């Protein structure tokens, strides 16, 4: 493909400080249009960035920038995944979430809860494990769950659901399961 555009990647590491620095670096280097994945920055900050350069956001919606935001129906996807597991006979499914302030993570949690409610399965806060979109917090969360005596232990051989926000939680689950030898 012959194009004058070349992608430049700079990670914000799901940190407001890192993300701010990454955006400023991209703008300073003359990037034509930053594409941000699930930004942690405030709506006001992102609106300010969009006033300086063309901006596209993936995974969240900012009021006033809706035409520049690409989102998926995270709630519906989580609902479908949870319902599928319920239909397979699972009654204790773990939800490893992303950061609570991330729109897509919040929507997945709502879809998970709705599927449980739709099937008359009581919500169990101990099965909603706070996580992050990076490996270490997810690893700690999964290790904690594996070592916790939760009634109707979700870490039995029939556990098949650990819905990730990204692939890091899956990696963390695999690492935690190898180190605890409970899978």
Residue 149 pLDDT = 57
Residue 153 pLDDT = 45
**Domains in the chain with CATH codes:** 16-70 (no CATH), 74-180 (3.40.50.2300)
Residue 164 pLDDT = 46
Could you tell me the two tokens for 43?
Answer: 């709506």
Any residues with CB less than 8 A from the CB of 144 and at least 6 apart, and which? 129
Residue 174 pLDDT = 53
Low-confidence ranges of the chain (pLDDT < 50): 151-168, 179-183
User: Which DSSP string do the residues of 57-96 spell out, in sequence order?
Assistant: EES---TT-GGGEE---HHHHHHHHHHHHHHTT-----EE
User: Cβ distance 134 to 168 under 8 Å?
Assistant: yes
> How far is 67 from 124, CA to CA, in rounded Å?
38
Long-range contacts (CB closer than 8 Å, 24 or more residues apart) made by 63-69:
none
Model-wide pTM > 0.75? no
């Amino acid at each position: 493909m012959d194009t004058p555009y070349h992608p430049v990647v700079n990670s914000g590491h799901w940190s407001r400080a890192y993300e701010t620095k990454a955006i400023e670096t991209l703008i300073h280097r003359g990037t034509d249009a930053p594409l941000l994945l699930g930004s942690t920055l405030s709506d006001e900050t992102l609106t300010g960035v969009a006033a300086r350069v063309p901006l596209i956001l993936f995974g969240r919606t900012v009021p006033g920038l809706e035409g520049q935001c690409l989102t998926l129906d995270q709630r519906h996807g989580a609902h479908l995944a949870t319902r599928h597991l319920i239909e397979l006979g699972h009654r204790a499914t773990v939800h490893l979430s992303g950061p609570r302030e991330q729109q897509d993570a919040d929507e997945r949690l709502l879809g998970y809860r709705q599927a449980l409610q739709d099937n008359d399965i009581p919500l169990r806060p101990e099965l909603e494990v706070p996580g992050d979109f990076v490996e270490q917090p997810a690893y700690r969360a999964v290790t904690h769950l594996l070592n916790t005596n939760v009634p109707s232990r979700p870490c039995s051989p029939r556990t098949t659901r650990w819905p990730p926000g990204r692939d890091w939680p899956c990696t963390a689950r695999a690492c935690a399961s190898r180190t605890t030898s409970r899978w």
